[in-house]
Amino acid sequence: MTCFTKPEDLRVLITGAAGNIGKCLRDQLRGRYALLRLADIAEQEPAQAGEEICAIDVRDMSSVERCMEGIDCVVHLAGIPGVDTWEKILPMNIDGCYNVFEAARRQNVPRVIFASSNHAVGYHRREKFLDNTVQPRPDSLYGVSKVFGEALGRMYADKYGMSVACLRIGTFRTPDHPSEARQLLTWISHKDMAELARCCIEHESYHFAVAYGVSNNLRNRWDNSNVKFLGYQPQDDSEVFAAEILARNIPEDPIAAQFHGGFYCPLEFVGTTDRIS
């Protein structure tokens, strides 16, 4: 397994760098690495010192492979970031995710960090505390695409010896605060998101890890004890926003409120929830 010893020598690629999480990582990781290569299909701010801007379409393997040249670690964020049709999920989150892992293998990139989502396990009941061992229970085709990405990562780790981290991100928002009751459980601040990415990029050696992307929320329902070795110590707590959010007295949808995936769960839901143990 590759050992990552000196952060200042690392060459890091971010896909989806023009997006919300991508811009946060760009701002907060700037200057730490030998190179931050920022790849997106969208326009980006011009490169600053230590940065490269790179045009990529994750649906096009040749553009993905080109962006991988000389890279030590990929943070893969690009894709459809929520519920959508199969016609969009398939090329972007399934084919696109395959292209990223496969291009990384072809270019001998030793580490991939994949932006998974809590929606990979969204139909678990909220009273259950979730750790990395719970079964996949996607609440949407989007969630299914994240389960696929995690499975792909596991295979590239086990078969090809790639170091892979899958981040089941909760709720990342710009502006940087939670805005509804469920987000008091699921919120991850910008600072904590960048710190989680940094820990995964810089850790000297791991094979395969699943981590929940969540802040140090009093109401957190996700267990990261399996990834203590990463050294991720979130600092922010959504509780400071709780009084204001709860005072608005906006009730959560009764189906959403039963499951970790929240508002994705009632969408197209048929029947009663008592059949979901």
Ligand X SMILES: NC(=O)C1=CN([C@@H]2O[C@H](COP(=O)(O)OP(=O)(O)OC[C@H]3O[C@@H](n4cnc5c(N)ncnc54)[C@H](O)[C@@H]3O)[C@@H](O)[C@H]2O)C=CC1
| Count of CB atoms situated within 10 Å of the CB of 51 | 19
Both tokens of 117, joined, read 């989502």
Scanning the structure block, which residue is given the tokens 């990463």? 230
Residue among 12 and 21 whose Cβ is closer to ligand X: 21
Looking up tokens 């649906």, which residue turns up? 59
* Contact between 229 and 87 (Cβ < 8 Å): no
Which x/- pattern, by CB under 6 A, does the window 78-117 give for ligand GCB?
A: ---xx----------------------------------x
- Give the nearest distance from C-beta 115 to ligand X in angstroms: 4
What is each CA distance from 125 to 62, 122, 129, 217, 237, in whole angstroms?
Answer: 42, 8, 9, 19, 23
Q: Whole-angstrom Cα distance, residue 157 to residue 151? A: 10
Q: Does 189 bind ligand GCB (CB under 6 A)?
A: no
Residues annotated as catalytic (active site), given as ranges: 142
CA angle at 86 for the pair 67 and 160, rounded to the nearest 5°: 40
Judged by CB, which is closer to ligand X: 168, or 203?
A: 168
User: And the tokens for 16?
Assistant: 């989806």
Select the binding partner of residue 166 from ligand X, ligand GCB, none (C-beta < 5 to 8 A, by kind): none
Among 136, 173, 151, which residue's Cα sits nearest to residue 93? Answer: 151
Q: How far is the CB of 117 from ligand GCB (least distance, A)?
A: 3
Residue choice 15, 132, 186, 217 for contact with ligand GCB (CB under 6 A): 186
Q: Token match 């600053």: residue?
A: 48
Per CB under 6 A, contacts with ligand GCB among 229-268 are 262
Interface residues with ligand X (CB under 6 A)?
16, 18-22, 40-42, 56-59, 77-79, 81, 92, 115, 117, 169, 171-172
CB of 175 to ligand GCB, least distance (A): 14
Of 15, 99, 118, 238, which one interacts with ligand GCB (CB under 6 A)? Answer: 118
Which partner, ligand GCB, ligand X, none, binds residue 18 by CB below 5 to 8 Å per kind?
A: ligand X
16 interacts with, out of ligand GCB, ligand X, none, CB within 5 to 8 A per kind? ligand X
Q: How far apart, in whole angstroms, are the C-alpha atoms of residue 137 and residue 258?
A: 14
* CA-based nearest residue to 71, from 88, 60, 83, 56: 56
Cβ closest to ligand GCB, residue 118 vs residue 163: 118
Distance CA 146, CA 62 (A): 23
The residue whose Cβ lies closest to ligand X is 19
Per CB under 6 A, the list member of 26, 37, 76, 119 interacting with ligand GCB is: 119
Binding interface with ligand GCB (CB under 6 A): 81-82, 117-119, 171, 186, 262
